[in-house]
Chains A and B, each alone.
Chain A
Amino acid sequence: MNRAGLIGFAILSIFFLMAVAPWIFAPYDPYIRFTPYAEPGTDHILGTNDMGHDILSELIYSARASLFVGFVAAILATLLGVIIGIIAGYYRGWIEDLLMGVTDIFLMIPKIPMIIIIAAFLGSGIWVLILVFGAFSWTAIARIARSKVLQIRESGFVLSARCLGFSNRFIMAREIAPNLTHIVFPKFMLLAASAMITEASISFIGLGDPSMKSWGVMLSFAFTKGGLLNGMWWWYIPPGIAISVCVMAIALIGYSREKGADIGVRG
């Protein structure tokens, strides 16, 4: 990992710590009510919001939901993409044509409008967001996984696994899949970043889960409850910075691995 990757890793670790144990960092419970609309001061470093919640504590507690959505949605999309890509690349023929045709159709569907429509029908919630994001984001991974599998399936160790009498499922899961890690991982990190931004956007336009604390929900309230109009920068700038820095950290890790992606299995 290069220096940029290490910086990204350090930043992301801090965010992960915040998500796992927010009480270590946060000065208050984010649901305790103080004087609303307080400006930053010694008691509340980033002031309070319309409900009187301490914004710094809210910011720290929000890391959990944002990271959760980002990574769970990315894991879902990656699993789907890798499975579809491996099956298409390994079996080839009509199975490949069918799966890649479906991939092309999914590739055309715009993700955020789709999530807005589905959230409007099914009601908003964190799991709807995760499932819909996962269901519509696997296409890129399926494509790169397939093209790599086409290459790996002709390699000697896959042939010798067939010579040794291993089943197709074993070969796909144990011989081919691990060899995809280095090309799928950077894509996975970028998907996680993209899912976090999607969560923030969806929450911002009011289709998020209002009972949950996430950076997108914070931004949404800052906007709808007058924080933006009244110039309360301590309310809307910190969640924006948190999203940007966290996404940047994830992207840095992803990019740093991408550079090494062409080293690995040859032929």
Chain B
Amino acid sequence: MSRLLDIKNLSVSFVSGEETVRAVTDVSFDLCEDEVLTLVGETGCGKSIIAHAISGLLPPEALVSGEIRYKEKDLQSIPEEERVLLRGCEIGIVLQNPSRALNPLYTIGHQIRETILRHTEKSKEESNRMVAGALRRMGFSDPGIEMKRYPFESSGGMNQRFVIASSTILSPDLLIADEPTTGLDRSRIQDVITEFERIMEEEEMAIILITHDLAVARRLADRIGIMYAGEVVEMGDANRIFEEPYHPYTKGLFGSLPENGCVPIPGVSPPMSRIVSGCRFHPRCGKRTAVCERDHPQLGMIDDRYVRCHLCHSQ
């Protein structure tokens, strides 16, 4: 499988007044065609910033360093017009909060159709047929009715599927889904997961799925990256990590799940404006040693995965 996306040493920071907020520090990963990578972590750990950096949607005041290569093109250096055209056509993006992702004044059919009209030379009738086809594949038995509806006439789960439909209708090579299940109840989340499973089965698409819902991550991911305070702390094959987490934070995260006893990790994540010296997780880590407080650990290979922990490396 060839490489679709290659991110090297990506750092994103925001300067506001005297404070510098380092939202993402030194994140590197690559993504193959047809692979599903899930980024998991607490709120504010920088997952969404990575999604925004890849799609070029960061606000202009963000300082970005590092390299984002998509199909051997450096996304940072190509002109904005080219980048705008990549979005929606080759790179599909699904954002959280589906009900707000649709303009309340247009019908569903109109909004999904606009994407096709924007990027291709197809006629309105042809586009309508494509939209109807896509909705039928999603399990809407009568797409004609759904297309005439307005977003407020549909449920949040349906709207999220419409958003997914408009992001994937042109069969992009890369789909970035930023918390696609947030704000939905369990049964709606099920709909969205089913939708993703269908896409993974039917289409050749690499997916970056960003979530803090571990159940969703487990269902969908080929590979998983655990993030803490702007860094990747553990990354590797999803099944292996779920079976046996190495990093204390990953263990804590899994331990806080209801089915694993609901034991929360003590403390709170550090503010991103003041970087903790040494290992960023050491104030909350039960196994910290002197070296954890002093030295910042590097991301190193252990067995089949990358881990950023002094403890795991010394064993």
Q: Measuring CB to CB, which residues of chain A are less than 8 angstroms from any residue of chain B?
A: 93, 155-157, 159-167, 170, 174-175, 178-179, 265, 267
- Distance in Å from the Cβ of A22 to the closest Cβ of chain B? 37
Choose the segment among B30-38, B86-94, B202-210, B224-232 that binds chain A (4+ C-beta atoms closer than 8 Å).
Answer: B86-94
By secondary structure, the A interface counts as helix
Q: Is the CB of B101 within 8 A of A160?
A: yes
Complex Cα gap A160–B165 (Å): 12
Cα A167 to Cα B85 with chains together (Å): 9
Compute how far the CA of A65 lies from the CA of B271 in the bound complex, rounded to whole angstroms. Answer: 65
Give the docked Cα–Cα distance between A162 and B167 (Å).
Answer: 11
Partner-contacting stretch, out of B67-75, B102-110, B235-243, B296-304: B102-110
Q: Please, which residue of chain B has its CB at the minimum distance from the CB of A264?
A: B104
CB distance from A95 to the nearest CB of B (A): 12
Residues of chain B within 8 A of A93, CB atoms compared: 60
Whether A164 pairs with B166 at a CB distance below 8 angstroms is yes
Assess whether A165 is in contact with B87, with CB atoms less than 8 Å apart: yes
| Distance of B83 from chain A, by nearest CB (Å) | 9
Decide if B118 touches A160 in the complex (CB within 8 Å).
no
Q: Are A155 and B114 in contact (CB under 8 A)?
A: no
Q: Say whether A163 contacts B87, CB under 8 Å.
A: yes
Contact (Cβ within 8 A) A165 B102: no
Chain B residue numbers with a CB within 8 Å of A164 are 87-88, 93, 114-115, 118, 166-167
Look across to chain B and name the residue whose beta carbon is closest to the beta carbon of A265. B104
Q: Mark B44-60, 1 if CB is under 8 A from A, else 0.
A: 00000000000101001
A265–B99 alpha-carbon span in the complex (Å): 11
Q: Known: A156-B95, A170-B118, A178-B105. Is A163-B167 also a contact (CB below 8 A)?
A: yes
Smallest CB-CB separation from B56: which chain A residue? A162
Query: What CA separation (Å) do A216 and B75 show in the bound complex?
Result: 63
**7 closest Cβ pairs, A-B complex:** A156-B100, A165-B88, A164-B88, A163-B93, A165-B87, A156-B101, A160-B101
Smallest Cβ-Cβ distance to A161: which chain B residue: B103
A157 near B101 with CB under 8 A, answer: yes
Known: A156-B98, A160-B163, A165-B118. 18 other contacts (CB 8 A): A93-B60, A155-B100, A156-B99, A156-B100, A159-B57, A160-B93, A160-B95, A160-B102, A161-B103, A163-B55, A163-B167, A164-B88, A165-B84, A165-B119, A166-B114, A179-B104, A179-B105, A267-B100
Asked whether, in the complex, the Cβ of B57 is within 8 Å of the Cβ of A156, the reply is no
Q: What are 26 A-B contacts defined by CB distance under 8 Å?
A: A155-B100, A156-B97, A157-B103, A159-B101, A160-B93, A160-B95, A160-B101, A160-B102, A160-B166, A162-B57, A162-B87, A163-B88, A163-B92, A164-B87, A164-B118, A164-B167, A165-B84, A166-B88, A166-B114, A170-B118, A174-B114, A178-B103, A178-B105, A179-B103, A179-B104, A179-B105
